[in-house]
Amino acid sequence: MVSLSLYHGSKTSLISHLLILLIIVTIVIEMCLYKKIFKNQRSNKIRDSFNNGGHKVPNMDQTQGPNVDGEGFVSGVYYSNWSPYKPRFHFPHDINLTQVSHVYYAFFRINPRTGGIESTDNWSDLEMNLYKPLAIKSSELIDGNSSNDIQKILPLGCIGELFYLKHSCSGKKFKVIMSIGGWSDSENFKVIIKNENLLQAFVDSSVETMFKLGFDGIDLDWEFPENNKSEPQGYLKLVRMLRSKLNSLESQIFGEGVEDHFQLSIAAPAFKDKLYYLPIPEIDQYIDYWNMMTYDYYGSWSETTGYHSNLFSETELSGNFAIHYMIDKFGINSRKLVLGMAAYGRSFHIKGSGFQPFTQNTILINQSFKGVGKLTKEVNKADGKEGIWPYKNLPKKGTIERYDPKYVSAYCFDEKNSIFISYDNTKSVKTKAEYVLHNKLGGGFWWESCGETYANESRSLIHAFNEGLRSNVSTKPSMFENERVVNFYLNKYGNNGFLTPYLKHMDSFKQ
């Protein structure tokens, strides 16, 4: 039909039809190339096995950190810099940023030779241009006729995009925090704490990089310091030096009357075996938040099946145990404790039979298992690993989602293949929000943004959590909303600053 009408039309209309066709083909090719650039994604976070120890820690005096946020709860999410790659295609602008108080940008790593920190992926962090997908996905964020200007000054990479979004997202303010370390970088922490020069270089480079790239603070993720003479004390020293360096940056910017603080937080182990020997009260003096990693309680390393992000348990492997350990044993101010939640499930291939029919009373925890289940196409497509299921793909196809109110965990069970998957759903996170309110915690956070459902708000974990918090989510703005911070930046870096073109553009600071 199309070609017929083309032949019957005039010559000019043929040319214009061909031109339109050419434009469409160009756009399609460009989109395909764009996808191709996103290579395969890299390694992911896993966890080591737990041994049961059990040492008593004396009660300590309650301590206060420099910056307990009284302006609403933390609703934070980690964003990983391997998210843009296939099969994830998950970008900062995919997060519903109106719902979060903090984005933790994971990860920067330590260079063990110099002590300095560096990008783990320059292209993802600082080089790729996200203008097009940003404009397509969230055109409402780009003010109409200035979109061409935005294209010129949009800072590059995921870090640049997050900076842009936190200063242009209408309505809701949030902070972006640089996270250093992660599961695969624990060895380098061990190296730098042994050497005064490397340690100093680490501290200087961390604060310099944080500021230059427009972050509002630093999050340390050493998984985990060992129980020996040097590591717990080395961690304390590192944190103390880092806070002092941040303080001196603040005085440089503000002079006498420091108006605002760069945040310092720790992603902390949430089980006794890796906690009891750490100088928690001493470290607490220097940090704002403890991001308690209250998930991954059960997995491939475990002896039996179990819920992986349960709030309660008869054993010590639960969120509640970890939170109370911090409060009761170490005297930490509950407002500084942030409850970790998982935007993914962990699965087990349960041994034997006798689990059918699957009802509310079928006990699937404490069972022996033969592996964590094979990687299916379905999981792989949504970027799961063996045994790891992104929440957005749960419950598993053909299964029923259930909720265990005693442990506070959601789960589903594939009867045919004996696959048991435990995870957080909207019910469990609502209960967790009540727990946060009741125990006066700092809030909650998720590992990681990629697993969340953004398409359907009634399935959204972050949305359910915030509802549970009566929408009392912190609206503390970025440090870079402060004119003095921006002016200091522009004076320090001049035209060489990563953010200079954008900062110069930001309306409120136009000269």
496 binds ligand NAG (CB under 6 A): no
User: Which residues, including other chains, have CB under 8 Å from residue 418's CB and lie 6 or more apart?
Assistant: 349, 350, 351, 353, 355
User: Which residues, including other chains, have CB under 8 Å from residue 376's CB and lie 6 or more apart?
Assistant: none
d(CA 400, CA 411): 8
**Residues 119, 209, 409, 428: which binds ligand NAG (CB under 6 A)?**
119
- Residue 382 or 485: the one with the smaller Cβ distance to ligand NAG is 382
# residues contacting ligand NAG (CB under 6 A) = 29
Instruction: Fill in the amino acid letter for 436.
Output: V
Phi and psi of 62, rounded to 5°?
-65, 135
504 binds ligand NAG (CB under 6 A): no
**Residues 61, 256, 314, 507: which binds ligand NAG (CB under 6 A)?**
314
16 binds ligand NAG (CB under 6 A): no
How far is residue 166 from each of residues 108, 118, 413, 475, 511, measured CA to CA in Å? Answer: 20, 23, 40, 11, 21
Least spacing, CB of residue 68 vs ligand NAG, in Å:
8
Least spacing, CB of residue 14 vs ligand NAG, in Å:
38
**Residues 220, 332, 341, 365: which binds ligand NAG (CB under 6 A)?**
365
Residue carrying structure tokens 């933790």 = 104
149 binds ligand NAG (CB under 6 A): no
d(CA 63, CA 418): 48
Contact region with ligand NAG (CB under 6 A), list: 16-24, 42-50, 454-462, 484-492: 454-462
510 binds ligand NAG (CB under 6 A): no
For residues 214 and 125, the answer to whether their CB atoms sit within 8 Å is no
190 binds ligand NAG (CB under 6 A): yes
* Eight-state DSSP code of residue 328: I
**Residues 52, 146, 195, 475: which binds ligand NAG (CB under 6 A)?**
146
**Residues 59, 62, 197, 230: which binds ligand NAG (CB under 6 A)?**
230
d(CA 448, CA 267): 13
Question: What residues between 377 and 436 interact with ligand NAG by CB under 6 A?
Answer: none
472 binds ligand NAG (CB under 6 A): yes
For residues 310 and 371, the answer to whether their CB atoms sit within 8 Å is no
Residue carrying structure tokens 């689990």 = 355
Q: Is 316 a catalytic site residue?
A: no
98 binds ligand NAG (CB under 6 A): yes
61 binds ligand NAG (CB under 6 A): no
How far is residue 74 from each of residues 250, 311, 387, measured CA to CA in Å? Answer: 23, 18, 29
Question: Of the listed 118, 161, 223, 434, which one is catalytic?
Answer: 223
Q: Given the rule CB under 6 A, which residues bind ligand NAG?
A: 70, 72-73, 96, 98-99, 118-119, 122, 143-146, 190, 226, 228-231, 314-315, 363, 365-366, 456, 458-459, 463, 472
Catalytic residues: 223
